[in-house]
Structure 1
């Protein structure tokens, strides 16, 4: 772990990923944006990486700061729900291969990457099953700012 004297120097990869998403959001016009499986696959990869990061942060924060750990765990649950919705949307878009609308984690998709969206989703699902209950997934979102 590196220590930084300036907050802007901390977590350079996370800042770069966030900057990339902001750039993509600003540079793509609504009239030219085409939602396709490639786009959702990349977005799903980003969301699953964030889910894994939130899982690590929640587990690290929980012992010394239980309240912060609970809030990070709630964020992890909500992000899992978002990731699952993107995965579902991926399968609702038309594919180029026969039977492409079904989830087959054991097969490669119609092209790269090596790790398919379904395989990635199943791997992230292990974290979700380990850390959440069906009650957590159905609990309504509430925000209570203590400041």
Structure 2
């Protein structure tokens, strides 16, 4: 049983984002798995931005769905928590990869006191801290696995 396809103008931005992710996945999947390029910081930064945007979307959907359909809202809230965990792991992987330059290596550790004026490499940390703030306001600690927002560099 398949679900009916949405009208062509339904959720155009989300459809475009899905198309972009599918295209990027196909581009990174060569016929020879041994020649597959390894992830780099730029890819993980863009992926983290996409996951953070999905986190925001899922949060809004859960909030609007919960009053009329509590069970569906709970499932969306659970998906939100799991997506946060994936976003957190992508952030941690970003900091595990080697920096491109010596300057990036010196400034890539998360330092909240330097985030607003920090170098561009800290954009992922700013986004992650902002997403973490929203997640922690709406999620109980028992729902989240043990996690800190400090980078593991």
TM-score by length of 2: 0.78
> Structure 1: how far apart are the matches of 2:93 and 2:142?
24
1:43 alignment partner, SS class: helix
On the 8 A contact 2:98/2:105 being kept in 1, the answer is: no
On the 8 A contact 1:44/1:87 being kept in 2, the answer is: yes
* Aligned length, in residue pairs: 129
2:148 maps to 1:108? no
2:131 maps to 1:135? no
- 2:8 aligns with 8
Query: Following superposition of structure 1 onto structure 2, how do residues 15-94 of structure 1 map, counting pairs within 5 Å?
Result: 15-28=15-28, 29=30, 30=33, 31-94=35-98
Q: Deviation at 1:100? A: 4.1
2:125 maps to 1:118? yes
Report Cα offsets for 1:95-142 as digits up to 9, x if no partner.
1223244113511235xxxx700000011011111111121114xxxx
Report Cα offsets for 1:55-85 as digits up to 9, x if no partner.
0000000000000000000000000000000
Cα root mean square deviation, aligned: 1.6
> Structure 2: how far apart are the matches of 1:104 and 1:12?
37
Q: Deviation at 1:8? A: 3.0
Higher helix share: 2
Gaps of 5+ in 1: 1-5, 139-147
> Structure 2: how far apart are the matches of 1:104 and 1:92?
16
Q: Any runs of at least 4 consecutive aligned residues in structure 1 with deviations exceeding 4 A, and if so which?
A: none
On the 8 A contact 1:54/1:76 being kept in 2, the answer is: yes
On the 8 A contact 1:94/1:101 being kept in 2, the answer is: no
Q: Deviation at 1:40? A: 0.3
